[in-house]
Structure formats: C-alpha cells, structure tokens
Amino acid sequence: MGKTRSFKDELPFEQRLKESTDMLAKYPDRVPVIAEKYPRTDLPELEKKKFLVPKDMSVGHFIHILSSRLQLAPGKALFIFVKDTLPQTCMHKFTVLEIAFIWYFIPRFRRRQLSDPVLLCAACLMDSVYESYKDDDGFLYMCYSTEKTFGGVC
C-alpha cells in the first residue's frame, strides 16, 4: 500500500481556498478541518479526511468521532495535533503554578521545540483552535496518532 498524498499535495492553493471559502459561506456555524494520519503511526487512513465540524464542538468530541471512524479498540487513546505553537485556548486553563510544575517535573515539556506538533486539550472548542491555527487556505490541518510525543512534523 503506497503512501497517501496529503490534502495540500492533492489540490492547488487556489482551489483549497475557494473550497474553504464556499464551505464557510454555506455553513457559517462550522469550521473546515482536514484530519490526516501522522506518518509514523500504525493507524489506518480515514476514509475521508475533510470534515465540517460545528464551531462549538470540543476537541474531545472530535477525537471521539475520529476514534469511532478508525474503529479503535476500547481503551486505545487517540491524540490530535496541530503545529507550531502552544494553543492559547488551552493555556488559560492552567495557573502559573501548574505550568511551572509541568515545566519542572516533565522532561518532555522542557525539551519541546516550538516546531514540534502541539497536543490539543480535549476541552478546547474547535472554533478557538480554528481561529488560532487555520492555514492561509482556510482549512484547519490536524494530524492524529496513538502516540502523544513526536520527533518530527505532522
């Protein structure tokens, strides 16, 4: 089975931009999301990678939907990532003391590079994540995996 092309590789920028603009105009209460498999995970590809997600849906609910579509075994965790910076939508849920605790006691957080994918908190709303991380083409790109620590890009 060959490697699946990413959505960005399949369509030119102008076509992706038109598609996302049309979706947002037709469905103003939803956000266009592309969910693709992290290359180094053993999970299967989703049948479809393009989703129109309600703005008020939590990331946790979206993860549940993806888990169902992937037919994951009960108890197997699924993680969703976006790239580049720590989501502000999640940071406000932690106190300064909690952040200091995480920074000091969890070595992976200390070694984390800003270019690494960002693990989203389950309580974040999709609209907030979309507004923070949408691509120039109007889509929110996410990747999924069963691992929560990565050494490369989504």
pTM: 0.74
Domain 13-145 = CATH 3.10.20.90 = yes
Q: What is the pLDDT confidence band of residue 3, given thresholds at 50, 70 and 90?
A: low
Residue 143 in this model has a pLDDT that exceeds 80: yes
Instruction: Give how far the C-alpha of residue 74 lies from the chain's centroid of Cα atoms, to the nearest Å.
Output: 21
Q: What is the pLDDT of residue 154?
A: 54
pLDDT in tens, 110-134: 344 434 455 566 778 899 889 988 9
Domain ranges for the chain: 13-145
Rounded to an integer, what distance in angstroms lies between the CA atom of residue 50 and that of residue 76?
23
Instruction: Give how far the C-alpha of residue 42 lies from the chain's centroid of Cα atoms, to the nearest Å.
Output: 17
Rounded to an integer, what distance in angstroms lies between the CA atom of residue 140 and that of residue 127?
10
The pair of structure tokens assigned to 5 is: 């092309």
For residue 27, the one-letter residue type is Y
Q: What is the pLDDT of residue 80?
A: 80
CA neighbor of 80 nearest in space, from 134, 14, 13, 146: 146
CB 47 within 8 A of CB 4: no
Q: What is the pLDDT confidence band of residue 66, given thresholds at 50, 70 and 90?
A: very high
pLDDT in tens, 26-44: 999 999 999 999 887 888 9
Rounded to an integer, what distance in angstroms lies between the CA atom of residue 6 and that of residue 97?
40
Phi, psi angle pair for 120, to nearest 5°: -90, 145
